[in-house]
Amino acid sequence: MTAIRRMIFSGDLPGGTVVQDRKLAEQLGLSRTPVREALGRLAGEGYLRRDGRLLTVQGVSVEDVMEILATRRALEGETARLAAGRLSPEQLAAIRGAIEGMVEPRAVSHDRHWSVDDLVHLSIAEASGNRLMARLVKELRERTRMFGLSRIPRRFDPGKGEHLAILSAIERADGAAAAEAMRRHIDNARQGILDLLAGTLPREPDPNPVISVSGTRT
Protein backbone atom coordinates (compact mmCIF):
# COMPACT_ATOMS: atom_id res chain seq x y z
CA MET A 1 0.00 0.00 0.00
CA THR A 2 2.92 2.33 0.70
CA ALA A 3 4.06 2.28 -2.92
CA ILE A 4 0.57 3.06 -4.26
CA ARG A 5 0.06 5.80 -1.67
CA ARG A 6 3.37 7.34 -2.74
CA MET A 7 2.28 7.28 -6.38
CA ILE A 8 -0.89 9.19 -5.46
CA PHE A 9 0.95 11.83 -3.43
CA SER A 10 3.71 12.31 -6.01
CA GLY A 11 1.26 12.80 -8.87
CA ASP A 12 2.15 9.60 -10.69
CA LEU A 13 -1.52 8.76 -10.13
CA PRO A 14 -3.23 12.17 -10.37
CA GLY A 15 -6.82 12.87 -9.40
CA GLY A 16 -9.34 11.30 -11.75
CA THR A 17 -7.04 8.46 -12.85
CA VAL A 18 -8.78 5.11 -13.20
CA VAL A 19 -6.90 2.56 -11.10
CA GLN A 20 -6.79 -1.10 -12.15
CA ASP A 21 -5.33 -3.73 -9.84
CA ARG A 22 -3.99 -5.80 -12.74
CA LYS A 23 -1.99 -2.94 -14.27
CA LEU A 24 -0.69 -1.76 -10.91
CA ALA A 25 0.32 -5.29 -9.96
CA GLU A 26 2.30 -5.62 -13.19
CA GLN A 27 3.88 -2.20 -12.70
CA LEU A 28 4.90 -2.95 -9.09
CA GLY A 29 5.90 -6.56 -9.70
CA LEU A 30 3.31 -7.89 -7.25
CA SER A 31 0.42 -10.32 -7.37
CA ARG A 32 -3.06 -8.89 -7.75
CA THR A 33 -4.31 -9.96 -4.29
CA PRO A 34 -2.17 -7.62 -2.13
CA VAL A 35 -2.70 -4.80 -4.63
CA ARG A 36 -6.48 -5.32 -4.55
CA GLU A 37 -6.40 -5.31 -0.73
CA ALA A 38 -4.29 -2.12 -0.70
CA LEU A 39 -6.71 -0.39 -3.08
CA GLY A 40 -9.59 -1.35 -0.82
CA ARG A 41 -7.87 0.20 2.19
CA LEU A 42 -7.01 3.38 0.24
CA ALA A 43 -10.64 3.65 -0.86
CA GLY A 44 -11.68 3.32 2.78
CA GLU A 45 -9.30 6.16 3.69
CA GLY A 46 -10.79 8.39 1.02
CA TYR A 47 -7.84 8.45 -1.38
CA LEU A 48 -9.76 6.48 -4.03
CA ARG A 49 -13.39 6.81 -5.11
CA ARG A 50 -15.50 3.82 -6.16
CA ASP A 51 -18.01 4.36 -8.97
CA GLY A 52 -19.67 1.06 -9.75
CA ARG A 53 -16.82 -1.26 -10.67
CA LEU A 54 -14.36 1.55 -11.31
CA LEU A 55 -11.85 2.93 -8.83
CA THR A 56 -10.51 6.43 -9.49
CA VAL A 57 -8.05 8.58 -7.59
CA GLN A 58 -9.90 11.14 -5.49
CA GLY A 59 -8.98 14.63 -6.61
CA VAL A 60 -8.46 17.60 -4.29
CA SER A 61 -10.26 20.75 -5.46
CA VAL A 62 -9.37 24.37 -4.78
CA GLU A 63 -12.20 24.48 -2.24
CA ASP A 64 -10.83 21.33 -0.59
CA VAL A 65 -7.31 22.69 -0.26
CA MET A 66 -8.57 25.99 1.17
CA GLU A 67 -10.48 24.06 3.85
CA ILE A 68 -7.44 21.89 4.50
CA LEU A 69 -5.19 24.93 4.95
CA ALA A 70 -7.70 26.60 7.28
CA THR A 71 -7.73 23.45 9.40
CA ARG A 72 -3.96 23.17 9.30
CA ARG A 73 -3.65 26.80 10.39
CA ALA A 74 -5.55 26.09 13.59
CA LEU A 75 -4.03 22.68 14.21
CA GLU A 76 -0.41 23.47 13.41
CA GLY A 77 -0.54 26.76 15.28
CA GLU A 78 -1.34 24.69 18.36
CA THR A 79 1.30 22.01 17.68
CA ALA A 80 3.92 24.75 17.29
CA ARG A 81 2.84 26.26 20.62
CA LEU A 82 3.06 22.89 22.35
CA ALA A 83 6.42 22.08 20.71
CA ALA A 84 8.08 25.23 22.10
CA GLY A 85 11.17 24.21 24.04
CA ARG A 86 10.66 20.53 23.19
CA LEU A 87 12.92 20.10 20.15
CA SER A 88 16.47 19.14 21.09
CA PRO A 89 19.47 21.20 19.93
CA GLU A 90 20.41 18.27 17.68
CA GLN A 91 16.96 18.18 16.08
CA LEU A 92 16.91 21.92 15.58
CA ALA A 93 20.38 21.83 13.98
CA ALA A 94 19.37 19.00 11.63
CA ILE A 95 16.17 20.75 10.52
CA ARG A 96 17.96 24.09 10.03
CA GLY A 97 20.67 22.34 8.03
CA ALA A 98 18.07 20.78 5.73
CA ILE A 99 16.33 24.14 5.19
CA GLU A 100 19.52 26.10 4.58
CA GLY A 101 20.85 23.34 2.32
CA MET A 102 18.22 24.27 -0.27
CA VAL A 103 20.12 27.16 -1.80
CA GLU A 104 18.96 27.38 -5.42
CA PRO A 105 15.31 26.60 -6.28
CA ARG A 106 16.12 25.04 -9.65
CA ALA A 107 18.57 22.65 -8.02
CA VAL A 108 15.96 21.36 -5.55
CA SER A 109 13.70 18.58 -6.81
CA HIS A 110 10.00 18.54 -6.04
CA ASP A 111 10.46 15.45 -3.84
CA ARG A 112 13.32 17.01 -1.88
CA HIS A 113 11.33 20.18 -1.35
CA TRP A 114 8.42 18.18 0.07
CA SER A 115 10.80 16.06 2.15
CA VAL A 116 12.30 19.11 3.86
CA ASP A 117 8.85 20.63 4.30
CA ASP A 118 7.69 17.38 5.92
CA LEU A 119 10.75 17.38 8.16
CA VAL A 120 9.84 20.84 9.49
CA HIS A 121 6.12 20.39 9.97
CA LEU A 122 6.06 16.75 11.11
CA SER A 123 8.98 17.19 13.54
CA ILE A 124 7.10 20.06 15.17
CA ALA A 125 3.85 18.08 15.26
CA GLU A 126 5.57 15.10 16.87
CA ALA A 127 7.34 17.34 19.39
CA SER A 128 3.95 18.68 20.50
CA GLY A 129 3.46 15.45 22.43
CA ASN A 130 -0.09 15.06 21.09
CA ARG A 131 -0.15 11.94 18.93
CA LEU A 132 -3.64 12.55 17.56
CA MET A 133 -2.76 16.05 16.36
CA ALA A 134 0.51 14.76 14.88
CA ARG A 135 -1.41 12.12 12.91
CA LEU A 136 -3.94 14.66 11.69
CA VAL A 137 -1.19 17.04 10.58
CA LYS A 138 0.42 14.23 8.58
CA GLU A 139 -2.88 13.28 6.92
CA LEU A 140 -3.77 16.88 6.06
CA ARG A 141 -0.32 17.46 4.58
CA GLU A 142 -0.82 14.39 2.41
CA ARG A 143 -4.11 15.83 1.19
CA THR A 144 -2.39 19.14 0.49
CA ARG A 145 0.21 17.38 -1.63
CA MET A 146 -2.54 15.60 -3.59
CA PHE A 147 -3.71 19.03 -4.80
CA GLY A 148 -0.91 18.62 -7.34
CA LEU A 149 0.39 22.19 -7.49
CA SER A 150 4.12 22.59 -8.04
CA ARG A 151 6.13 24.94 -5.84
CA ILE A 152 4.81 28.47 -5.73
CA PRO A 153 7.07 31.07 -7.33
CA ARG A 154 8.44 33.76 -5.01
CA ARG A 155 7.70 31.51 -2.02
CA PHE A 156 10.98 29.57 -2.00
CA ASP A 157 13.11 32.03 0.01
CA PRO A 158 10.23 33.51 2.06
CA GLY A 159 9.11 29.98 2.96
CA LYS A 160 12.60 29.12 4.17
CA GLY A 161 12.71 32.30 6.27
CA GLU A 162 9.30 31.52 7.78
CA HIS A 163 10.38 27.99 8.70
CA LEU A 164 13.50 29.35 10.39
CA ALA A 165 11.41 31.90 12.31
CA ILE A 166 9.18 29.13 13.62
CA LEU A 167 12.21 27.13 14.73
CA SER A 168 13.75 30.15 16.45
CA ALA A 169 10.58 30.70 18.48
CA ILE A 170 10.49 27.02 19.42
CA GLU A 171 14.14 27.16 20.44
CA ARG A 172 13.38 30.17 22.70
CA ALA A 173 10.49 28.19 24.21
CA ASP A 174 8.16 31.02 23.15
CA GLY A 175 4.94 29.15 22.44
CA ALA A 176 2.91 32.22 21.49
CA ALA A 177 5.50 33.39 18.98
CA ALA A 178 5.87 29.88 17.54
CA ALA A 179 2.10 29.59 17.05
CA GLU A 180 1.88 33.00 15.42
CA ALA A 181 4.83 32.28 13.12
CA MET A 182 3.25 28.99 12.04
CA ARG A 183 -0.14 30.59 11.37
CA ARG A 184 1.53 33.37 9.37
CA HIS A 185 3.47 30.78 7.35
CA ILE A 186 0.31 28.88 6.42
CA ASP A 187 -1.54 32.13 5.64
CA ASN A 188 1.24 33.12 3.25
CA ALA A 189 1.24 29.70 1.58
CA ARG A 190 -2.54 29.96 1.12
CA GLN A 191 -2.23 33.42 -0.41
CA GLY A 192 0.52 32.21 -2.72
CA ILE A 193 -1.75 29.47 -4.03
CA LEU A 194 -4.60 31.94 -4.56
CA ASP A 195 -2.31 34.37 -6.38
CA LEU A 196 -1.01 31.64 -8.64
CA LEU A 197 -4.48 30.33 -9.47
CA ALA A 198 -5.67 33.88 -10.13
CA GLY A 199 -2.88 34.31 -12.67
CA THR A 200 -1.09 37.09 -10.80
CA LEU A 201 2.07 34.99 -10.45
CA PRO A 202 3.95 33.02 -13.13
CA ARG A 203 4.06 29.27 -12.65
CA GLU A 204 7.51 28.06 -11.63
CA PRO A 205 9.07 25.45 -13.95
CA ASP A 206 9.36 22.10 -12.22
CA PRO A 207 12.99 20.88 -12.33
CA ASN A 208 11.71 17.30 -12.05
CA PRO A 209 8.40 17.07 -13.96
CA VAL A 210 6.20 14.17 -12.92
CA ILE A 211 5.82 11.31 -15.36
CA SER A 212 2.24 10.05 -15.34
CA VAL A 213 1.31 6.41 -15.84
CA SER A 214 0.49 7.19 -19.46
CA GLY A 215 4.06 8.34 -20.02
CA THR A 216 3.26 12.02 -20.49
CA ARG A 217 4.86 14.80 -18.49
CA THR A 218 2.64 16.87 -16.23
Q: Assess whether 74 and 25 both reside in one domain.
A: no
pLDDT at residue 118, as a whole number = 96
Q: Is residue 203 part of a domain?
A: no
DSSP string, the chain: -HHHHHHHHHTSS-TT-EE-HHHHHHHHT--HHHHHHHHHHHHHTTSEEEETTEEEEPP--HHHHHHHHHHHHHHHHHHHHHHTT-S-HHHHHHHHHHHHT---GGGS-HHHHHHHHHHHHHHHHHHTT-HHHHHHHHHHHHHHHHT-PPPPTT-HHHHHHHHHHHHHHHHTT-HHHHHHHHHHHHHHHHHHHHHHHTTSSPPPPPSSPPBPTTS-B-
pLDDT tens per residue across span 40-78: 999 988 889 988 888 998 888 889 999 999 999 999 999
Question: CB within 8 A of 120, min separation 6: which ones?
Answer: 95, 98, 99, 163, 166, 167
Please name the residues in contact with 196: beta carbons below 8 A apart, sequence gap of 6 or more. Answer: 149, 152, 153, 203
Number of domains the chain is built from: 2
Residue 194 has pLDDT above 80, yes or no: yes
pLDDT for the residue 151:
56
| Mean pLDDT, rounded, for 119-132 | 98
Segments forming the whole domain that contains residue 40: 2-57
> Does a structural domain hold residue 107?
yes
List the one residue out of 95, 82, 173, 169 whose CA is nearest residue 131. 82
Please compute the mean of the pLDDT values over residues 103-129 and round it to a whole number. Answer: 93
Same domain? 48 vs 109: no
Between 189 and 207, the more confident residue is 189
* 206 domain residue, yes or no: no
Reported as a single tens digit per residue, the pLDDT across 142-186 is: 888 888 665 566 788 999 999 999 999 999 999 999 999 999 999
Record the pTM. 0.78
Clarify whether residues 191 and 87 are in a common domain.
Answer: yes
| CATH at residue 103 | 1.20.120.530
Please check the confidence at residue 200 and state whether its pLDDT lies above 60: no
Residues 52 and 75 in one domain: no
Contacts 24+ apart (CB under 8 A), 47-54: 47/5, 47/8, 47/146, 48/19, 54/18
Q: Give me the pLDDT at residue 149, please.
A: 62
pLDDT tens digits, 2-51: 889 888 877 788 888 999 999 999 999 999 999 999 999 999 888 899 88
